[in-house]
Amino acid sequence: MAQTDSLTPMARDTIFICHATPDDNDFVRWLGARLTGHGYKVWADMFGLKGGMPFWNTIEDALREHAYKVIFVASKASVDPNRQGVRNELSVADAVRKALIDPAFIIPVRLDDVAFSDFPILVHQLNAIDFSRDWGAKLIELLDTIETADVPRSEGDQSQEFERWRQDAVKTAASVSVEQEPVLTSLSPVNSLPAEVRYLKHNSDSTAVTTALHSSGIPFRSFYQLLITFADIDKINAVLPTPMVAEARAVASLDEFLTGDVPNVTSPRRSDAQNIATALLRQHVERYLLARGLKELPQRSSSAYYFRDGLVANNKVPYTAASGRRTNKNVVGRSERNKVYWHLAMKVSVVLGPPAFVRFKPYVAFSDDGQTAITDPKRTAPIRRRFCKNWWNQHWRQLQEAFAVWLADGATACSIPLDGSQNLVLAGRLLQLTAERHIVGDLQFQDEAEEPDEPEDEEDIGFDADLEGEGDE
């Protein structure tokens, strides 16, 4: 819940927002209202400083005595070296971080297109959550971060504080309902991770072995003279040409592997182990998408996997939306205006958490024949800008909902085989969170979608069609 007029002595229970005033106040009002609605105390100088209060004494007290976490709003305004107030707050926050021995005490969030290289040195090496293109989607990531850090929530009635944030944010007298509100995310929760990581040794030239395994498609990582994989050894040996043979060197639990402390074997350090595990799992998910019939569109950063024409009946995925309504969503369509087919595609990233989840990031590919994606970005970029200019977050989320149901074949879970006895099991639906308060008639802050926006007309888009004849969702 939002900051109170007088903070309880020595109660470290508050999220302190460090930002440039007044430049970034609109975002802080928006963020503060939502964090408050999720049950957290929030302190920002726009509300925490009352007439007659000693300015720096109040801020320093909030930071030193009450802050559980500090959110630093990184913007072109706040990183300006002349903003001494922001620099002073960060300096105190860094001192508290060291005293608490909490490396994640400061959480940077990027508000605009400020270069990461321009971040103040005190937060330069911290991972920032990028709100610059989509406030709503990144709020979920920030809430995950805060919840994972066990930031305490207030148990008392904070409706008054919540309403203060709300009214200041929207400049209306909109009412606040103390009732739960579902929030659908873009994340596919991981129900279970593989239990073991396998270390294999081999009897041949490393280059020859890795070439053979790359050709097979089985995900692995070379580490000195070893191979690291989730796959069973018999699956590995089945694709190695004679006389190449792999043998078991060690088996570690995934938890042991991620700590970087595996006995009796040379193992990657913690940070490298995390990167290796997420990369291997991402590759397994991508292989599964190919096995399900999606096609790969290589891109500069990561590949997108798209539906081809005819993969699913009528190019529509039927599903029951989070609202409970039966509906369907087009995943392939024809744009006569642009003389191309459009295809829903997904990019894959894995987060081990906790909590662990897979993020399927939606994308739109185009083709001339409904099968082979156009790879020339000079041709597709202007089409994408025109075609998707009105696809707001709601439509992207519906596409992700439909995709999650398709991936699990309508079941409650999707089991992805990892070349042997192990599986990565995803939930069959997107993660749904619950806010403890509902803002009645809340303004929809119109964010830019992370991807291109929306088709030019309803004929192109393939809007949801209710299967029971009651209209769109």
SS (H, E, C) 296-339: EECCCCCCEEECCCCCCHHHEEEEECCCCCEEEEECEEEECCCC
| 133-149 average pLDDT score | 82
Residue 338 has pLDDT above 60, yes or no: yes
- Mention every residue, 6+ apart, whose C-beta is less than 8 A from residue 238: none
Residue 396 has pLDDT above 60, yes or no: yes
Region of poorest pLDDT, from 9-13, 219-223, 424-428, 447-451:
447-451
Q: How far apart (Å, rounded) are the C-alpha atoms in residues 423 and 405?
A: 19
Alpha helices in 19-177 (DSSP H): 25-37, 45-48, 55-61, 84-100, 135-148, 159-170
Residue 39, class by beta-carbon neighbours within 10 Å (0-12 exposed, 13-18 middle, 19+ buried)?
Answer: middle
Residue 289 has pLDDT above 90, yes or no: yes
pLDDT of residue 179: 58
Residue ranges covered by each domain of the chain: 14-173, 194-288, 289-461
Q: How far apart (Å, rounded) are the C-alpha atoms in residues 150 and 202?
A: 44
| 85-101 average pLDDT score | 92
Q: How far apart (Å, rounded) are the C-alpha atoms in residues 93 and 155?
A: 26
Residue 197 has pLDDT above 90, yes or no: yes
pLDDT of residue 159: 53
Whether the Cβ atoms of residue 434 and residue 185 lie closer than 8 Å to each other: no
Q: Which residue has the tokens 């500069």?
A: 300
| Tokens of residue 167, six digits | 């009214």
**Within 10 A of 121 (CB to CB), how many other CB atoms are there?**
9
Distances in Å between the Cα of 103 and the Cα atoms of 74, 95, 107, 123, 467 are: 18, 11, 10, 11, 51
Q: Which residue has the tokens 């060291």?
A: 98
Residue 441 has pLDDT above 70, yes or no: no
Residue 53 has pLDDT above 60, yes or no: no
Whether the Cβ atoms of residue 360 and residue 400 lie closer than 8 Å to each other: yes
Reduced DSSP (H G I as helix, E B as strand, rest coil) percent helix, strand, coil of the chain, to 5: 35, 25, 40
Q: How far apart (Å, rounded) are the C-alpha atoms in residues 252 and 139?
A: 35
| 122-132 average pLDDT score | 89
pLDDT of residue 52: 39
- pLDDT confidence tier of residue 424, bands split at 50, 70 and 90: very high
Strands 67-74 and 106-110: parallel
| 371-383 average pLDDT score | 93
Q: Which residue has the tokens 């202007």?
A: 382
Strand partners, 423: 417
Residue 473 has pLDDT above 60, yes or no: no
Residue 431 has pLDDT above 80, yes or no: yes
| pTM, two decimal places | 0.62
- Work out the mean pLDDT of the chain and round it to a whole number: 81
pLDDT above 70 covers a percentage of the chain that reads: 79
Q: How far apart (Å, rounded) are the C-alpha atoms in residues 402 and 320?
A: 8
- pLDDT confidence tier of residue 167, bands split at 50, 70 and 90: low
| 165-180 average pLDDT score | 49
pLDDT of residue 421: 93
Under CATH, which architecture does the 194-288 domain have? 2-Layer Sandwich (3.30)
- Whether the ω angle into residue 152 lies within 30 degrees of 0, i.e. cis, is no
- pLDDT confidence tier of residue 40, bands split at 50, 70 and 90: confident
CATH fold label, 14-173: Rossmann fold (3.40.50)
DSSP secondary structure code for residue 447 in this structure: P
- Whether the ω angle into residue 377 lies within 30 degrees of 0, i.e. cis, is no
- pLDDT confidence tier of residue 171, bands split at 50, 70 and 90: very low
Long-range contacts of 314-321 (CB under 8 A, 24+ apart): 315/462, 316/462, 316/465, 317/402, 317/403, 317/405, 317/406, 318/467, 319/401, 319/402, 319/405, 319/406, 319/410, 320/405, 321/398, 321/401, 321/464, 321/473
Residue 295 has pLDDT above 50, yes or no: yes
